[in-house]
Structure 1
Amino acid sequence: MSASAERPRLTEQEKKNNHIASEQKRREAIRQGFDRLTEIVPGLEGQGRSESIVLKKSVEHMREVLQERQVLIERIQALGGEIPPELQ
Structure 2
Amino acid sequence: MPRDHPFTRCNSTGSIGIGNSSSLNSDDEDEIESKPSPMSYKERRREAHTQAEQKRRDAIKKGYDTLQELVPTCQQTDVSGYKLSKATVLQKSIDYIQYLQQQKKKQEEERNALRKEVVALRIMQTNYEQIVKAQQTQPGHTETRISDEVKFSVFQAIMEQLFLTFNNVSVSNFSELSAGVFSWLEEYCKPQMLKETVVQVLRRHNNHMRSQPPNS
TM > 0.5 fold call: yes
TM-score by length of 2: 0.32
User: Rg: which structure is higher?
Assistant: 2
Q: Which has the higher helix share?
A: 2
Q: What does 1:14-53 align with in structure 2 at a 5 Å threshold?
A: 14-47=44-77, 48-53=83-88
TM-score by length of 1: 0.77
Structure 1, unpaired ranges of 5+: 1-9, 82-88
User: What is the CA-CA distance between 1:43 and the residue it aligns to?
Assistant: 1.9
User: What is the CA-CA distance between 1:55 and the residue it aligns to?
Assistant: 0.3
Identity, in percent, stands at 32
User: What is the CA-CA distance between 1:42 and the residue it aligns to?
Assistant: 1.0
CA distance in 2, matches of 1:15, 1:74: 57
Structure 2, unpaired ranges of 5+: 1-39, 78-82, 117-216
User: What is the CA-CA distance between 1:49 and the residue it aligns to?
Assistant: 3.4
What number of residue pairs does the alignment pair up?
72
In the TM superposition, structure 1's runs of 4+ consecutive aligned residues that sit over 2 Å from their partners are none
Counterpart residue identity of residue 96, structure 2: H
Which protein, 1 or 2, shows the higher relative CO under an 8 Å CA cutoff with sep ≥ 6? 1
